Structure 1
Amino acid sequence: MFQFQLKNQNVSIDDSKYGIEALLAYGMEEPHCFHLMFVLDDCMKARACAMRAELATKLQIPKDQIVVITKEQLICQTKKGDLYCWYLRQSCKIIYHKSNFIKELLNCQIPRPNMEFETKSVIQFVDNSMQLYRQKRLNCYAMLAILAEGIGDLGEHVCIRHGSFVFHKKNAVEKCFHCSDVTLPFTYQQYCVLYKYWCSYKENQTLPRPMLVDLAVDEWYQAFCKFAKC
Protein backbone atom coordinates (compact mmCIF):
# COMPACT_ATOMS: atom_id res chain seq x y z
CA MET A 1 0.00 0.00 0.00
CA PHE A 2 1.30 3.47 -0.85
CA GLN A 3 -0.11 6.97 -0.63
CA PHE A 4 0.23 10.10 -2.73
CA GLN A 5 -1.53 13.41 -3.22
CA LEU A 6 -3.90 13.99 -6.10
CA LYS A 7 -5.97 17.16 -6.40
CA ASN A 8 -4.92 18.12 -2.86
CA GLN A 9 -6.25 14.88 -1.43
CA ASN A 10 -4.42 11.85 -0.05
CA VAL A 11 -5.00 8.74 -2.13
CA SER A 12 -4.12 5.16 -1.18
CA ILE A 13 -3.35 2.45 -3.73
CA ASP A 14 -2.83 -1.23 -2.99
CA ASP A 15 0.27 -2.03 -5.05
CA SER A 16 0.02 -5.77 -4.35
CA LYS A 17 -3.56 -5.92 -5.64
CA TYR A 18 -2.61 -4.47 -9.02
CA GLY A 19 1.01 -5.66 -9.19
CA ILE A 20 2.31 -2.11 -9.45
CA GLU A 21 6.05 -1.75 -9.96
CA ALA A 22 6.02 2.04 -10.27
CA LEU A 23 3.73 5.03 -10.64
CA LEU A 24 4.76 8.02 -12.74
CA ALA A 25 3.06 11.36 -13.31
CA TYR A 26 3.70 13.40 -16.43
CA GLY A 27 2.18 16.24 -18.41
CA MET A 28 2.21 18.52 -15.37
CA GLU A 29 3.47 21.41 -17.53
CA GLU A 30 0.15 21.32 -19.41
CA PRO A 31 -2.66 20.65 -16.89
CA HIS A 32 -5.05 19.27 -19.49
CA CYS A 33 -2.33 16.76 -20.48
CA PHE A 34 -1.77 15.40 -16.97
CA HIS A 35 -1.41 11.59 -16.91
CA LEU A 36 -0.67 8.87 -14.40
CA MET A 37 1.32 5.90 -15.67
CA PHE A 38 1.06 2.64 -13.76
CA VAL A 39 3.98 0.33 -14.54
CA LEU A 40 3.06 -3.27 -13.75
CA ASP A 41 5.09 -6.43 -13.27
CA ASP A 42 2.91 -8.13 -15.85
CA CYS A 43 -0.60 -7.72 -17.17
CA MET A 44 -2.89 -9.11 -19.86
CA LYS A 45 -4.51 -6.55 -22.19
CA ALA A 46 -8.04 -7.25 -20.93
CA ARG A 47 -6.94 -6.82 -17.33
CA ALA A 48 -5.15 -3.57 -18.19
CA CYS A 49 -8.39 -2.13 -19.64
CA ALA A 50 -10.34 -3.17 -16.56
CA MET A 51 -7.66 -1.67 -14.32
CA ARG A 52 -7.82 1.67 -16.11
CA ALA A 53 -11.55 1.89 -15.58
CA GLU A 54 -11.28 0.84 -11.94
CA LEU A 55 -8.45 3.26 -11.16
CA ALA A 56 -10.19 6.12 -12.98
CA THR A 57 -13.23 5.62 -10.76
CA LYS A 58 -11.13 5.32 -7.63
CA LEU A 59 -8.98 8.38 -8.41
CA GLN A 60 -11.87 10.37 -9.91
CA ILE A 61 -10.00 11.34 -13.07
CA PRO A 62 -10.84 10.59 -16.74
CA LYS A 63 -9.85 7.13 -17.94
CA ASP A 64 -7.82 8.59 -20.80
CA GLN A 65 -5.52 10.22 -18.25
CA ILE A 66 -4.44 6.81 -16.97
CA VAL A 67 -1.81 4.72 -18.74
CA VAL A 68 -1.24 1.08 -17.81
CA ILE A 69 1.95 -0.51 -19.14
CA THR A 70 4.09 -3.50 -18.20
CA LYS A 71 7.78 -3.40 -17.33
CA GLU A 72 8.55 -5.42 -20.44
CA GLN A 73 6.67 -3.02 -22.71
CA LEU A 74 8.41 0.00 -21.21
CA ILE A 75 11.84 -1.62 -21.50
CA CYS A 76 11.14 -2.47 -25.15
CA GLN A 77 10.07 1.10 -25.94
CA THR A 78 13.13 2.51 -24.20
CA LYS A 79 15.52 0.27 -26.15
CA LYS A 80 13.93 1.49 -29.38
CA GLY A 81 14.52 5.11 -28.41
CA ASP A 82 10.79 5.81 -28.32
CA LEU A 83 10.07 9.54 -28.15
CA TYR A 84 7.62 8.81 -25.35
CA CYS A 85 10.48 7.48 -23.20
CA TRP A 86 12.53 10.62 -23.82
CA TYR A 87 9.56 12.63 -22.65
CA LEU A 88 9.23 10.54 -19.49
CA ARG A 89 12.94 10.83 -18.84
CA GLN A 90 12.85 14.59 -19.07
CA SER A 91 9.60 15.49 -17.36
CA CYS A 92 8.00 12.68 -15.36
CA LYS A 93 7.73 12.60 -11.60
CA ILE A 94 8.21 9.24 -9.89
CA ILE A 95 5.43 8.98 -7.31
CA TYR A 96 6.10 5.41 -6.24
CA HIS A 97 8.61 2.69 -7.05
CA LYS A 98 8.90 -0.78 -5.56
CA SER A 99 12.49 -1.25 -6.72
CA ASN A 100 15.16 0.76 -8.52
CA PHE A 101 13.95 -0.56 -11.88
CA ILE A 102 12.26 2.63 -13.05
CA LYS A 103 15.09 4.93 -11.96
CA GLU A 104 17.69 2.76 -13.66
CA LEU A 105 15.59 2.57 -16.82
CA LEU A 106 15.08 6.32 -17.08
CA ASN A 107 18.76 6.96 -16.39
CA CYS A 108 20.05 4.47 -18.95
CA GLN A 109 21.38 5.42 -22.37
CA ILE A 110 18.32 5.82 -24.59
CA PRO A 111 18.87 5.80 -28.38
CA ARG A 112 17.84 8.98 -30.14
CA PRO A 113 14.29 8.65 -31.48
CA ASN A 114 13.57 8.07 -35.16
CA MET A 115 12.14 11.51 -35.86
CA GLU A 116 11.23 10.68 -39.45
CA PHE A 117 8.98 7.88 -38.19
CA GLU A 118 7.56 10.02 -35.38
CA THR A 119 6.72 12.89 -37.73
CA LYS A 120 5.14 10.57 -40.31
CA SER A 121 2.96 9.11 -37.54
CA VAL A 122 1.68 12.57 -36.58
CA ILE A 123 1.00 13.50 -40.21
CA GLN A 124 -0.84 10.24 -40.84
CA PHE A 125 -2.99 10.67 -37.73
CA VAL A 126 -3.96 14.24 -38.64
CA ASP A 127 -4.65 13.28 -42.27
CA ASN A 128 -6.82 10.35 -41.19
CA SER A 129 -8.67 12.59 -38.74
CA MET A 130 -9.25 15.15 -41.48
CA GLN A 131 -10.82 12.46 -43.65
CA LEU A 132 -13.19 11.58 -40.81
CA TYR A 133 -14.01 15.26 -40.40
CA ARG A 134 -14.83 15.62 -44.10
CA GLN A 135 -17.02 12.54 -43.87
CA LYS A 136 -18.80 14.24 -40.94
CA ARG A 137 -17.68 11.45 -38.62
CA LEU A 138 -15.64 13.89 -36.52
CA ASN A 139 -16.93 17.26 -35.40
CA CYS A 140 -15.20 20.56 -36.07
CA TYR A 141 -14.30 21.11 -32.42
CA ALA A 142 -12.44 17.82 -32.14
CA MET A 143 -10.68 18.37 -35.47
CA LEU A 144 -9.39 21.79 -34.49
CA ALA A 145 -8.10 20.36 -31.22
CA ILE A 146 -6.31 17.59 -33.16
CA LEU A 147 -4.70 20.21 -35.40
CA ALA A 148 -3.56 22.24 -32.40
CA GLU A 149 -1.96 19.17 -30.86
CA GLY A 150 -0.50 18.02 -34.17
CA ILE A 151 1.18 21.36 -34.83
CA GLY A 152 2.56 21.28 -31.30
CA ASP A 153 3.91 17.77 -31.92
CA LEU A 154 5.62 18.95 -35.11
CA GLY A 155 7.12 21.83 -33.15
CA GLU A 156 8.57 19.40 -30.62
CA HIS A 157 9.98 17.29 -33.45
CA VAL A 158 11.64 20.29 -35.10
CA CYS A 159 13.27 21.19 -31.78
CA ILE A 160 14.59 17.65 -31.36
CA ARG A 161 16.04 17.66 -34.88
CA HIS A 162 17.81 20.87 -33.90
CA GLY A 163 19.31 19.26 -30.83
CA SER A 164 16.98 20.23 -27.98
CA PHE A 165 14.15 18.35 -26.30
CA VAL A 166 11.29 20.78 -25.67
CA PHE A 167 8.26 18.80 -24.52
CA HIS A 168 5.77 21.62 -24.24
CA LYS A 169 3.86 22.31 -27.40
CA LYS A 170 3.52 26.09 -27.14
CA ASN A 171 7.15 26.54 -26.08
CA ALA A 172 8.32 24.21 -28.84
CA VAL A 173 6.42 26.12 -31.51
CA GLU A 174 7.83 29.39 -30.18
CA LYS A 175 11.36 27.99 -30.40
CA CYS A 176 10.77 27.00 -34.03
CA PHE A 177 10.57 30.68 -34.93
CA HIS A 178 14.23 30.97 -33.94
CA CYS A 179 15.33 28.18 -36.30
CA SER A 180 16.83 29.85 -39.36
CA ASP A 181 15.95 26.97 -41.69
CA VAL A 182 12.29 26.75 -40.63
CA THR A 183 9.53 29.02 -41.97
CA LEU A 184 6.23 28.65 -40.17
CA PRO A 185 3.01 29.44 -42.09
CA PHE A 186 1.49 31.26 -39.11
CA THR A 187 2.57 33.62 -36.35
CA TYR A 188 3.30 32.62 -32.80
CA GLN A 189 0.36 34.74 -31.65
CA GLN A 190 -1.95 32.85 -34.00
CA TYR A 191 -0.78 29.53 -32.61
CA CYS A 192 -1.31 30.82 -29.06
CA VAL A 193 -4.97 31.41 -29.95
CA LEU A 194 -5.23 27.88 -31.35
CA TYR A 195 -3.42 26.47 -28.33
CA LYS A 196 -5.81 28.27 -26.00
CA TYR A 197 -8.71 26.79 -27.96
CA TRP A 198 -7.21 23.30 -27.53
CA CYS A 199 -6.92 23.85 -23.78
CA SER A 200 -10.55 25.01 -23.61
CA TYR A 201 -11.66 21.98 -25.62
CA LYS A 202 -9.79 19.58 -23.33
CA GLU A 203 -11.27 21.26 -20.28
CA ASN A 204 -14.83 21.29 -21.72
CA GLN A 205 -15.10 25.06 -21.65
CA THR A 206 -17.36 27.20 -23.86
CA LEU A 207 -16.28 27.10 -27.52
CA PRO A 208 -17.02 29.32 -30.57
CA ARG A 209 -19.95 28.71 -32.89
CA PRO A 210 -19.47 25.72 -35.27
CA MET A 211 -19.53 27.85 -38.45
CA LEU A 212 -16.54 29.90 -37.27
CA VAL A 213 -14.68 26.76 -36.27
CA ASP A 214 -15.33 25.08 -39.64
CA LEU A 215 -13.62 27.97 -41.40
CA ALA A 216 -10.66 27.71 -39.04
CA VAL A 217 -10.30 23.95 -39.56
CA ASP A 218 -9.49 24.27 -43.28
CA GLU A 219 -7.08 27.14 -42.69
CA TRP A 220 -5.22 25.36 -39.91
CA TYR A 221 -5.09 22.10 -41.82
CA GLN A 222 -3.35 23.90 -44.68
CA ALA A 223 -0.97 25.46 -42.16
CA PHE A 224 -0.29 22.04 -40.64
CA CYS A 225 0.51 20.57 -44.07
CA LYS A 226 2.95 23.39 -44.85
CA PHE A 227 4.60 23.09 -41.43
CA ALA A 228 4.96 19.33 -41.91
CA LYS A 229 7.13 19.98 -44.97
CA CYS A 230 9.64 22.09 -43.01
Structure 2
Amino acid sequence: MKKVVIFVVVVIIVFVGWFLFGDKVGDWKKNDNSFENISCEQIKINFPDLNEKIAILCDLEAKIYQQYTDETEERLAYLNVAFEWESLGGLELKDEFYQRAVDIYRAFEDKYHDESYTVKWNMAHLYIDLKDYTKAEEYFKKAIVANNADAEPYVALLNLYLQDNLPANYRSVKELLDFAQENVSINREFFLDRYLKYLEKIGETAKADEVRQELKLSFPDKY
Protein backbone atom coordinates (compact mmCIF):
# COMPACT_ATOMS: atom_id res chain seq x y z
CA MET A 1 0.00 0.00 0.00
CA LYS A 2 2.84 2.38 0.89
CA LYS A 3 4.45 1.75 -2.52
CA VAL A 4 1.22 2.69 -4.29
CA VAL A 5 0.92 5.91 -2.28
CA ILE A 6 4.55 6.83 -2.97
CA PHE A 7 4.09 6.17 -6.69
CA VAL A 8 0.97 8.36 -6.82
CA VAL A 9 2.75 11.17 -4.96
CA VAL A 10 5.71 11.01 -7.37
CA VAL A 11 3.40 11.15 -10.39
CA ILE A 12 1.60 14.17 -8.93
CA ILE A 13 4.91 15.95 -8.23
CA VAL A 14 6.17 15.31 -11.77
CA PHE A 15 2.91 16.51 -13.30
CA VAL A 16 2.78 19.68 -11.19
CA GLY A 17 6.45 20.38 -11.87
CA TRP A 18 5.97 20.06 -15.60
CA PHE A 19 2.85 22.23 -15.48
CA LEU A 20 4.68 24.98 -13.59
CA PHE A 21 8.06 24.82 -15.27
CA GLY A 22 7.49 23.05 -18.58
CA ASP A 23 7.97 26.23 -20.63
CA LYS A 24 11.24 26.94 -18.87
CA VAL A 25 12.45 23.43 -19.57
CA GLY A 26 11.70 24.06 -23.23
CA ASP A 27 13.70 27.28 -23.07
CA TRP A 28 16.66 25.50 -21.46
CA LYS A 29 16.64 22.97 -24.29
CA LYS A 30 16.84 25.81 -26.78
CA ASN A 31 19.76 27.44 -25.02
CA ASP A 32 22.26 25.06 -26.60
CA ASN A 33 22.04 27.02 -29.87
CA SER A 34 19.98 24.32 -31.54
CA PHE A 35 17.03 24.53 -33.87
CA GLU A 36 15.31 21.40 -35.15
CA ASN A 37 17.82 19.36 -33.09
CA ILE A 38 20.85 20.51 -35.10
CA SER A 39 23.43 22.30 -32.99
CA CYS A 40 25.83 24.93 -34.21
CA GLU A 41 28.69 22.64 -33.25
CA GLN A 42 27.31 19.92 -35.50
CA ILE A 43 27.08 22.34 -38.42
CA LYS A 44 30.73 23.25 -37.88
CA ILE A 45 31.62 19.57 -38.04
CA ASN A 46 29.56 19.08 -41.20
CA PHE A 47 31.24 22.01 -42.98
CA PRO A 48 34.83 22.24 -41.69
CA ASP A 49 35.92 24.44 -44.59
CA LEU A 50 33.37 27.07 -43.51
CA ASN A 51 34.14 26.80 -39.81
CA GLU A 52 35.14 30.44 -39.37
CA LYS A 53 32.00 31.82 -41.03
CA ILE A 54 29.74 29.42 -39.14
CA ALA A 55 31.40 30.33 -35.84
CA ILE A 56 30.49 33.99 -36.43
CA LEU A 57 26.85 33.05 -37.00
CA CYS A 58 26.83 30.80 -33.95
CA ASP A 59 28.03 33.76 -31.89
CA LEU A 60 25.15 35.78 -33.32
CA GLU A 61 22.74 33.01 -32.36
CA ALA A 62 24.02 33.15 -28.79
CA LYS A 63 22.73 36.72 -28.59
CA ILE A 64 19.19 35.39 -28.96
CA TYR A 65 19.46 33.93 -25.47
CA GLN A 66 20.61 37.10 -23.74
CA GLN A 67 18.30 38.80 -21.28
CA TYR A 68 16.75 41.76 -23.08
CA THR A 69 14.89 44.62 -21.48
CA ASP A 70 13.86 45.89 -24.90
CA GLU A 71 11.77 43.45 -26.94
CA THR A 72 12.69 45.28 -30.14
CA GLU A 73 16.36 44.43 -29.59
CA GLU A 74 15.47 40.80 -28.95
CA ARG A 75 13.42 40.62 -32.13
CA LEU A 76 16.26 42.15 -34.11
CA ALA A 77 18.64 39.53 -32.71
CA TYR A 78 16.46 36.78 -34.22
CA LEU A 79 15.98 38.54 -37.54
CA ASN A 80 19.63 39.43 -37.87
CA VAL A 81 20.91 35.89 -37.41
CA ALA A 82 18.18 34.43 -39.66
CA PHE A 83 19.17 36.88 -42.39
CA GLU A 84 22.85 36.00 -42.00
CA TRP A 85 22.17 32.26 -42.33
CA GLU A 86 20.06 33.00 -45.39
CA SER A 87 22.88 35.08 -46.88
CA LEU A 88 25.42 32.34 -46.22
CA GLY A 89 23.06 29.86 -47.88
CA GLY A 90 22.90 32.07 -50.96
CA LEU A 91 26.67 32.46 -51.00
CA GLU A 92 27.53 28.79 -50.51
CA LEU A 93 24.37 27.25 -52.00
CA LYS A 94 23.94 24.91 -49.04
CA ASP A 95 20.41 23.79 -48.14
CA GLU A 96 21.45 23.30 -44.52
CA PHE A 97 22.01 27.04 -44.16
CA TYR A 98 18.67 27.89 -45.75
CA GLN A 99 17.01 25.43 -43.39
CA ARG A 100 18.78 27.02 -40.43
CA ALA A 101 17.35 30.40 -41.43
CA VAL A 102 13.86 28.89 -41.76
CA ASP A 103 14.11 27.30 -38.33
CA ILE A 104 15.10 30.58 -36.71
CA TYR A 105 12.33 32.48 -38.49
CA ARG A 106 9.86 29.85 -37.29
CA ALA A 107 11.14 30.18 -33.73
CA PHE A 108 10.65 33.93 -34.12
CA GLU A 109 7.09 33.40 -35.39
CA ASP A 110 6.26 31.11 -32.48
CA LYS A 111 7.77 33.35 -29.84
CA TYR A 112 6.20 36.61 -30.98
CA HIS A 113 3.15 35.32 -32.89
CA ASP A 114 4.56 37.39 -35.69
CA GLU A 115 2.50 38.10 -38.82
CA SER A 116 4.78 40.66 -40.46
CA TYR A 117 5.10 40.82 -44.22
CA THR A 118 8.89 40.75 -44.36
CA VAL A 119 9.21 37.52 -42.38
CA LYS A 120 6.55 35.75 -44.47
CA TRP A 121 8.15 37.01 -47.68
CA ASN A 122 11.64 35.89 -46.66
CA MET A 123 10.40 32.48 -45.55
CA ALA A 124 8.54 31.93 -48.81
CA HIS A 125 11.74 32.54 -50.76
CA LEU A 126 13.73 30.29 -48.44
CA TYR A 127 11.25 27.49 -49.12
CA ILE A 128 11.75 28.09 -52.85
CA ASP A 129 15.50 27.72 -52.31
CA LEU A 130 14.75 24.46 -50.50
CA LYS A 131 12.42 23.43 -53.36
CA ASP A 132 9.53 23.05 -50.94
CA TYR A 133 7.04 24.79 -53.19
CA THR A 134 3.97 23.87 -51.17
CA LYS A 135 5.38 25.72 -48.16
CA ALA A 136 6.46 28.58 -50.41
CA GLU A 137 2.88 28.88 -51.64
CA GLU A 138 1.63 28.85 -48.04
CA TYR A 139 3.97 31.67 -47.04
CA PHE A 140 3.29 33.79 -50.11
CA LYS A 141 -0.39 33.58 -49.18
CA LYS A 142 0.49 34.63 -45.64
CA ALA A 143 2.49 37.52 -47.09
CA ILE A 144 -0.60 38.54 -49.06
CA VAL A 145 -2.63 38.65 -45.86
CA ALA A 146 -0.02 40.97 -44.37
CA ASN A 147 0.22 43.19 -47.46
CA ASN A 148 -2.75 42.73 -49.77
CA ALA A 149 -2.51 46.04 -51.64
CA ASP A 150 0.93 45.41 -53.19
CA ALA A 151 1.42 43.38 -56.36
CA GLU A 152 4.65 41.81 -55.11
CA PRO A 153 3.36 38.74 -53.19
CA TYR A 154 0.65 38.00 -55.77
CA VAL A 155 3.21 38.10 -58.58
CA ALA A 156 5.54 35.80 -56.66
CA LEU A 157 2.67 33.36 -56.13
CA LEU A 158 1.73 33.47 -59.81
CA ASN A 159 5.36 32.85 -60.74
CA LEU A 160 5.23 29.60 -58.78
CA TYR A 161 2.35 28.48 -60.97
CA LEU A 162 3.76 29.85 -64.22
CA GLN A 163 7.09 28.09 -63.73
CA ASP A 164 5.30 24.79 -63.11
CA ASN A 165 6.85 24.51 -59.68
CA LEU A 166 3.41 23.88 -58.30
CA PRO A 167 0.19 22.82 -60.01
CA ALA A 168 -2.48 25.41 -59.27
CA ASN A 169 -6.15 24.63 -59.31
CA TYR A 170 -7.60 27.87 -60.66
CA ARG A 171 -10.75 27.44 -58.60
CA SER A 172 -8.68 27.23 -55.43
CA VAL A 173 -6.99 30.59 -56.07
CA LYS A 174 -9.72 32.35 -58.08
CA GLU A 175 -11.17 34.15 -55.07
CA LEU A 176 -7.73 35.37 -54.04
CA LEU A 177 -6.88 36.59 -57.55
CA ASP A 178 -10.29 38.23 -57.99
CA PHE A 179 -9.64 40.06 -54.73
CA ALA A 180 -6.23 41.14 -56.04
CA GLN A 181 -7.75 42.43 -59.27
CA GLU A 182 -10.11 44.59 -57.24
CA ASN A 183 -7.70 45.76 -54.55
CA VAL A 184 -4.08 45.82 -55.69
CA SER A 185 -3.06 49.46 -56.00
CA ILE A 186 0.75 49.30 -55.75
CA ASN A 187 2.44 48.16 -58.99
CA ARG A 188 -0.96 47.16 -60.29
CA GLU A 189 0.12 46.74 -63.92
CA PHE A 190 2.85 44.35 -62.82
CA PHE A 191 0.22 42.13 -61.19
CA LEU A 192 -2.15 42.35 -64.16
CA ASP A 193 0.59 41.42 -66.62
CA ARG A 194 1.49 38.28 -64.67
CA TYR A 195 -2.15 37.45 -64.05
CA LEU A 196 -2.80 37.68 -67.79
CA LYS A 197 0.02 35.24 -68.54
CA TYR A 198 -1.37 32.82 -65.97
CA LEU A 199 -4.91 33.04 -67.36
CA GLU A 200 -3.63 32.49 -70.90
CA LYS A 201 -1.64 29.48 -69.78
CA ILE A 202 -4.62 27.76 -68.16
CA GLY A 203 -7.00 28.66 -70.98
CA GLU A 204 -9.28 31.06 -69.09
CA THR A 205 -9.91 33.08 -72.26
CA ALA A 206 -12.81 35.25 -71.11
CA LYS A 207 -11.08 36.36 -67.93
CA ALA A 208 -7.83 36.91 -69.83
CA ASP A 209 -9.64 39.23 -72.26
CA GLU A 210 -11.01 41.22 -69.33
CA VAL A 211 -7.55 41.69 -67.81
CA ARG A 212 -6.04 42.49 -71.21
CA GLN A 213 -8.58 45.26 -71.79
CA GLU A 214 -7.58 46.94 -68.53
CA LEU A 215 -3.90 46.71 -69.45
CA LYS A 216 -4.61 48.24 -72.86
CA LEU A 217 -5.83 51.39 -71.15
CA SER A 218 -2.30 52.03 -69.86
CA PHE A 219 -0.28 50.24 -72.54
CA PRO A 220 -2.31 50.24 -75.77
CA ASP A 221 0.65 49.27 -77.96
CA LYS A 222 1.80 46.38 -75.77
CA TYR A 223 -1.43 44.44 -75.27
Greater strand fraction, Structure 1 or Structure 2? 1
Same fold (TM over 0.5): no
Which of the pair has more CA radius of gyration? 2
Greater helix fraction, Structure 1 or Structure 2? 2
TM-score by length of structure 1 reads: 0.26
TM-score by length of structure 2 reads: 0.26
